[in-house]
A and B are shown apart, each in its own frame.
Chain A
């Protein structure tokens, strides 16, 4: 028997497991890829351009880009300190907070939107408080952003936390003994070393925000120009103008694909960082 580079199953016949795995992968890839092909097969570059020029497409595209940018920026600004706290501190109720932060990942988006409406709607307790300040969320663009942040934040916090938590603690000790304060250590050591993980989180949460449908339509409604983002526009167009729906869908597909490909797989070498594995979540033990 020749030596092999990869491990092979010890029993069960040669390569049986491999063929089973190959069959399963093929089935899954077909399920995931066929709809995309079905979509792409219906458009031509010229067709895309013609439909892109339609005002309702442009308006939805612009709104989607704006709200996704705004919600992603919010997620980064609020999510990074949250992830840092979860990694570096122990406090009572931490487990509860962790579950809460994961909840939107598994919650039906319509339930999320409905809950947002109950809290921030005219009759909601938080909505009344905001109303005093002259801020109204339901059925506004700001409401779209809030719905996207709600749904997308967990997709940033999870990888950010994993990235910050898996930094080799010896780097942190080195920074400490070299006189770095907590903020200096965070910006000069932790942030750069965890950057690939953070970017991966940005990609995931931005893609999630871009594709957000259920919470948006429930909480912010479906008004062209103010709250009708691309996913909502696709849904509307499907009922009247199939070609426009196809073009919008293809656009969304390409944007999400590009986001994931670009940021998620940002090679560590490209950032000049050699990742080194540590023990995740071990920082808070000090």
Chain B
């Protein structure tokens, strides 16, 4: 368990954060410039808090009042920064072995542990390459392996997927998740990407202007977004309903407001909470003819531009429940979607993610 309570003056506002990071993955989300990276650097010992206390499993890493400030090398903290920081003059194998050599482990142990870690991260075929001969995704894997080989008590990951293109990012997400789940350490994972936050986190902490404004289990977040920022950040449809029966094909029928949804993988009865990602929702002006099990009719309430530079718009369909759909700007124009227009939203049963109770 990593426990932080730190203060550090940033250019525009003070960072004042209190956070506990248990074993497992905690996602630290927030906008660029909210202080996420700074919090990691304070924990790693690269920056020194103005005041406060940082403990790791009872061990004091920093305590201003007691005059304790362990240097980075003595903290047992693995830090994978956003940028590529692989040593350019060392091979992948030498990069991974770096920390073991630095700790003056016996040569045989260094060889063994480096070899096992390379194997585990699928890096053996690349072991003798230099970092510049690797793709962005491969470099990221090496950086993670280089930190993990030391069995850190805490792993700090600063947007490890941000430098990657979208396809690589998706592919690596699953792999990274498996790797992180197998680690017996507390991981603090910084991202400003909602997809990452939902894909990885057992727990989520939100940082806004230097403060942790909400932290807790992921599902709790989806149920009770603590602020408008959180709700918007997560940007998903969260709907609550009650199981009403079974369809002949085995799908559960769930009553949501005045509608009924077909939901897969639902054995239990009673109330359920479900997520439907807006990207999975297809909009049309006529009743759709297709394989999607769920078709809802509604009236367009709002057409919201996504952040500038993104060619998507978010369409809110009024009704009980209201439903957000993500469509390209072109599609929205072609369909003539604007407030007051009647439209149909459709999505497959498999697009529904049932949250555990």
A residues sitting closer than 8 Å to B (CB atoms) are 168, 170-171, 173-181, 184-185, 188-189, 192-193, 271-274, 276
A178-B99, A181-B102 known, 7 other contacts, Cβ within 8 Å:
A173-B79, A178-B98, A179-B74, A179-B99, A179-B102, A193-B88, A272-B130
Q: Is B132 an interface residue (CB 8 A)?
A: yes
Q: Closest residue of chain B to A192, judged by CB?
A: B89
How many residues in B have their beta carbons less than 8 Å from beta carbons of A? 28
**A-B residue pairs in contact (CB < 8 Å), sample of 13:** A170-B81, A170-B83, A171-B87, A173-B44, A173-B85, A176-B72, A177-B72, A177-B73, A179-B99, A179-B102, A180-B99, A192-B89, A274-B88
For window 4-63 of B, CB contacts with A under 8 Å fall at: 44-46
Contact yes or no, B150 A174, CB < 8 A = no
Residues of B near A181 (CB, < 8 A) are 73, 102
Closest 10 CB pairs of A and B: A178-B99, A176-B72, A180-B102, A174-B85, A177-B79, A192-B89, A179-B73, A179-B102, A170-B85, A274-B88
Q: Is B78 an interface residue (CB 8 A)?
A: yes
Contact yes or no, A177 B77, CB < 8 A = yes
Q: Is B146 an interface residue (CB 8 A)?
A: yes
CA distance A126 to B314 in the complex (A): 82
Residues of B near A180 (CB, < 8 A) are 73, 98-99, 102
For window 72-101 of B, CB contacts with A under 8 Å fall at: 72-75, 77-79, 81, 83, 85-89, 98-99, 101
Q: Chain A's nearest CB lies how many Å from the CB of B70?
A: 11
Asked whether A178 and B146 contact (CB < 8 A) given A173-B46, A173-B81, A184-B101, the answer is yes
Q: Is B108 an interface residue (CB 8 A)?
A: no
Asked whether A171 and B102 contact (CB < 8 A) given A176-B46, A177-B46, A274-B132, the answer is no
CA distance A189 to B101 in the complex (A): 12
For window 137-187 of B, CB contacts with A under 8 Å fall at: 146-147, 150
Asked whether A176 and B98 contact (CB < 8 A) given A171-B85, A192-B89, the answer is no
Asked whether A276 and B102 contact (CB < 8 A) given A173-B72, A177-B72, the answer is no
| Set B81, B87, B103: member contacting A179, Cβ < 8 A | B103
Residues of A near B73 (CB, < 8 A) are 176-181
CA distance A185 to B130 in the complex (A): 19
Q: Closest residue of chain A to B132, judged by CB?
A: A274
Q: Chain A's nearest CB lies how many Å from the CB of B255?
A: 53
CA distance A184 to B87 in the complex (A): 14
Residues of B near A173 (CB, < 8 A) are 44, 46, 72, 79, 81, 85
Q: Is B339 an interface residue (CB 8 A)?
A: no
Residues of A near B72 (CB, < 8 A) are 173, 176-177
Contact yes or no, B98 A175, CB < 8 A = yes
Contact yes or no, B81 A174, CB < 8 A = yes
Q: Chain B's nearest CB lies how many Å from the CB of A232?
A: 41
Asked whether A273 and B88 contact (CB < 8 A) given A177-B78, A181-B73, the answer is yes
Q: Is B195 an interface residue (CB 8 A)?
A: no
Contact yes or no, A273 B150, CB < 8 A = no
Contact yes or no, B89 A272, CB < 8 A = yes
